[in-house]
Structure formats: C-alpha cells, structure tokens
Chains A and B, each alone.
Chain A
Amino acid sequence: DAGVTQSPTHLIKTRGQQVTLRCSPKSGHDTVSWYQQALGQGPQFIFQYYEEEERQRGNFPDRFSGHQFPNYSSELNVNALLLGDSALYLCASSLDTGKGEQYFGPGTRLTVT
C-alpha cells in the first residue's frame, strides 16, 4: 500500500517565477491538505481539498492556489515567487469519514533564489 507521494523532491526557482508541486494521496483517501514548513518552524496549514473543491484555507495569500483531480491527487501552485516562499511543502491525505488522522508525504524542498 503506497503512502503519500510528492514530486519533485527538490526544486530551485528564481524570484518572480511560478511553481507547481504534486501530491498523490494514500490509497483510499479522498482529502488532501497542503502545509508550508519554514526552517526551524512547525508546518503551517495552507489549504485543504475535498471533492475537487477548496474546503478550508489558512492565512496564505491568493498567490497560493491548488487543484484536486477526480483521482484525488492534488497540485499546489505558487505564483510570483518570493524569497520567503523557500520552505518544505508538505502534502497530507486523510479520509473524510475517518477518525481525523492525516498522513504526510516526505515533502518538496523549494528554494527561491
């Protein structure tokens, strides 16, 4: 049973560019959440997708957007990259009818230069 997978593992972008990160949820899971983790900090909630709609959103600007596909996989898009967007981006999947636990992927390390 494959867990949560994310791609790419690492990414280097230039300030002002756009980036797309990808996530495949754990088999059977229908909900995907995205988090940003800066160095030395705990993960910060960006948004959550369920039934291809954004269901919840944290305190992040509109430059951060996402999508969920019919197979439950998800993308995180960040436009107009800033140096401060450099972080580990984590995807977590869960089951809407489950007990609430989320399963995290290994993350994508984004560096903005």
Chain B
Amino acid sequence: DAKTTQPTSMDCAEGRAANLPCNHSTISGNEYVYWYRQIHSQGPQYIIHGLKNNETNEMASLIITEDRKSSTLILPHATLRDTAVYYCIATPHSGGGADGLTFGKGTHLIIQP
C-alpha cells in the first residue's frame, strides 16, 4: 500500500464543511483511496472510496486531484457526532475483493459547538 500523510488533528465549527486532506504522492495506478473513521471506543466505519473520479455518497464527498497524489474528504455540514479519527488509506483491490488495510495514525477531527 502506498504511504499516506495526514495532519494529526483539525478543528471545525459545527454546521460548517470539514475538509480533511491526505497526501499519497507514491500511489500506484491500481490503488484506490479509501476513507474510514473511528469514533471513540468503536470499530472503524467505512466512509467512501475512489480511484480517480470524484465521488459522493450520503456521508461525504471525495475529491482526488488529477495527478492522484492527494485527495480531500469533505463532510458538508459537520455535526458533533462527526468528531472522530479519520483514516486515509491507499490500497489495491485483488480481483474485486478487499485487501488487508494499512492504517496510519489518521487525523483527529474535533467538531466545535
């Protein structure tokens, strides 16, 4: 898996958009960018993933730069429940299945009331 670099922590005001950056400058052509988050004392939760196109689902949007060396996860209207550690992971698929994930230390996002 390609190495990813994320800020250690970030603050965001409740109701505002939270933009979480991730650098993956050594990403390979077959590696997808995945985002997970982990709320305190719970297992990680899948958020979104993409290969090279921008993606959006009910939880978030993922913007991947054209050279694929970095990406941004956007939570459009952050709430207090979005306070969590967010992990950016670059990993290939194997025949459509999910490979073992390499988690870093992630970004601790704190939503301020």
Contacts and interface: CB of A to CB of B under 8 A. Distances in A.
Contacts of B42: 106-107
A99 B103 CA distance: 19
Interface residues of B, number: 24
A42 B98 contact: no
B96 interface: yes
B43 A47 contact: no
- The B contact surface, by secondary structure, is loop
- Of B44, B49, B98, B101, most buried by chain A (CB within 10 Å of CB) is B98
A47 B104 CA distance: 17
Interface in B58-104: 85, 87, 91, 93, 95-104
Given A4-B43, A33-B100, A95-B97, 7 more contacts: A43-B44, A44-B103, A45-B101, A92-B44, A97-B97, A100-B34, A103-B46
Closest 9 CB pairs of A and B: A42-B103, A104-B43, A45-B100, A94-B98, A96-B97, A101-B46, A100-B98, A43-B103, A104-B44
